[in-house]
Amino acid sequence: MLIIDWIKSQNKTYLLTAPTGVVAQNVGGSTIHSALRLMQSGSGYQSLAFYDLEFKKKLQTIEILIIEEISMVSATLFNFISNLFARIHNSDIAFGGISVIVVGDLAQLSPVREKAANYNNNQSSDTLLTTTHIVGYCETATQINNTICNILPINNNKYLIFESIDFLEGKRILPESIQTEFKLKTNMPPIVRLQQGACVMYLNNSLSEDGICNGIIGVITDLNKQHPSGQHASRTQFPLQNSFSLTVHKTQSLTLPNTSLDLSQLFAPGHAYTAISRCSKWENIQIINLDRDSFKVDPKVIKEYSQLKQIASQPLPIS
């Protein structure tokens, strides 16, 4: 990375961050939440910097903050980071006056808190199993994932449909309540289908030290069933979701070997552009219902790029 090389040559202290574990791993940085020790609450964000003096002093030494994939960072989080550094430096200036470099493509999807997609019936099973089908709706992704999983050869000893189980004061919570709680408090699906050959996405950073982070995709090679001991836990679920098919938001920041996308499914500004740019080779992209009207760009993005062009000729504010 030329920017990092230049910063190092100037003996500047920097912090390289990204909104997701996959991006952080790709650029050799840390997630924003781990780098700044952020916690999210109902009222917004909090940082442990104000409870750990040594960590606060460490952040005070940062001269340059780099944020990758800026399009995935919400305005709320961005403003919080700015206020965090301002407070650390006892300053009224944005980010406490330190230099901030943001990297990314504003024309991609903005952050968020989605009819079955059609694919070529003549497609070989090998291609089908190595292609990520990008859709606009969660329900569609679930339908496609189940369809492709049905194609896989089934070993009864290596097959599991796992449903999350909730217990409250010894009583199992009703399925409707589980669904509601899941949507509010976690990014994990209430039901996940696991079998040899199934493509899955990991959904948190609990194994980041082993190179497995939130958003990374892999294939199940084996299943080892463990019989329950009879003890009840308040939450039981694998941090996985089936990923033969994914929504556009789930694929953002990923590079995929083969993709199939139905443009009639993609409706929001940046949807189609983000989906089509997930694959590095044009010949490995299958497009259904090609329509130029599917490619929408938020007018605010165009305006922002115009402003950035005017600023681009000015020297970087780094002394």
Dihedral angle computed from the Cα positions of residues 187, 191, 194 and 200, in that order, rounded to the nearest 10 degrees: -30
In this structure, what are the phi and psi dihedrals at residue 261, rounded to the nearest 5 degrees?
A: -135, 140
Is 116 within a domain?
no
**Is residue 271 domain-shared with residue 186, that is, in the same domain?**
yes
Q: pLDDT value at position 118?
A: 24
- 180 within a domain of the structure (yes/no): yes
> Is position 120 within any domain?
no
Residue type, 80: F
Q: Is residue 305 part of a domain?
A: yes
Q: Show the tokens assigned to 112.
A: 């968020």
- CB burial of residue 118 (10 Å; 0-12, 13-18, 19+): middle
Q: How many angstroms separate the Cα of 199 from the Cα of each of 110, 129, 155, 172, 219?
A: 26, 8, 16, 30, 5
On whether both 257 and 206 belong to a single domain, the answer is: yes
Please determine, for residue 71, whether its predicted confidence score (pLDDT) is greater than 80: yes
With b meaning 16 or more CB within 10 Å and e meaning fewer, what string describes 67-82?
Answer: bbbbbbbeeebbebbb
User: Is the pLDDT confidence value at 3 over 80?
Assistant: yes
How, if at all, do strands 285-288 and 132-135 pair?
unpaired
Q: Quick one: residue 153, left, alpha or beta (phi over 0 = left, psi -120 to 50 = alpha)?
A: beta
Res. 230 pLDDT band, cuts 50 70 90: low
| Region 42-61 average pLDDT | 88
For residue 11, the model assigns a pLDDT of 92
* pLDDT of 56 above 90: yes
Q: Tell whether 15 and 57 lie within a shared domain.
A: yes
Residue 113 resides in a domain: no
- pLDDT score of 305 more than 60: yes
- Asked if residue 141 and residue 43 are part of one domain, the reply reads no
Could you give the count of Cα atoms lying within 13 Å of 118 in the half-sphere of its Cβ? 9
pLDDT > 70: percent of the chain: 69
- What are the residues facing 202 on neighbouring strands? 240
Termini Cα distance of the chain: 20
39/142 same-domain check? no
Judgement on whether residues 93 and 139 belong to the same structural domain of the protein:
no
In this prediction, residue 132 carries a pLDDT of: 65
Same structural domain, 304 and 259 = no
Q: Are residues 288 and 305 in the same domain?
A: no
Return the structure tokens found at 53: 């003096």
Q: For 234-256, how does the pLDDT look when each residue is reduced to its tens digit (9 = 90+)?
A: 555 678 877 777 777 778 778 78
83 has a pLDDT exceeding 80: yes
Does residue 114 fall inside a structural domain? Answer: no
Whole-number Å distance between alpha carbons of 75 and 106? 13
The reply to whether 198 and 228 lie within a common domain is: yes
- Out of 112-116, 238-242, 263-267, 312-316, pick the least confident: 112-116
Q: Is residue 226 in some structural domain?
A: yes
- pLDDT of 316 over the 70 cut: no
Note whether 290 and 159 are same-domain residues.
yes
Count of structural domains within the chain: 2
47 and 179 in one domain?
no
Write down the pTM of the prediction.
0.58
Residues 228 and 142 placed together within one structural domain of the fold: yes
Lowest mean pLDDT among 153-162, 190-199, 281-290: 153-162
- Residue 134: strand, helix, or coil: strand
Q: Of residues 261 and 34, which shows the higher confidence score?
A: 34
What is the pLDDT, as a whole number, of residue 180? Answer: 64
The pLDDT of residue 192 is 78
Calculated CA dihedral for residues 64, 35, 209, 25, nearest 10 degrees? -50
**Structural domain contains residue 213:** yes
Tens of pLDDT, residue by residue over 269-299, are: 888 888 888 887 888 888 888 777 878 888 8
Q: Name the most confidently modeled range: 65-74, 99-108, 147-156.
A: 65-74
The predicted pLDDT at position 154 comes to 56
Q: What's the mean pLDDT in 144-172?
A: 53
Residue 38 has pLDDT above 80, yes or no: yes
Q: Domain of 71?
A: 2-107+300-312
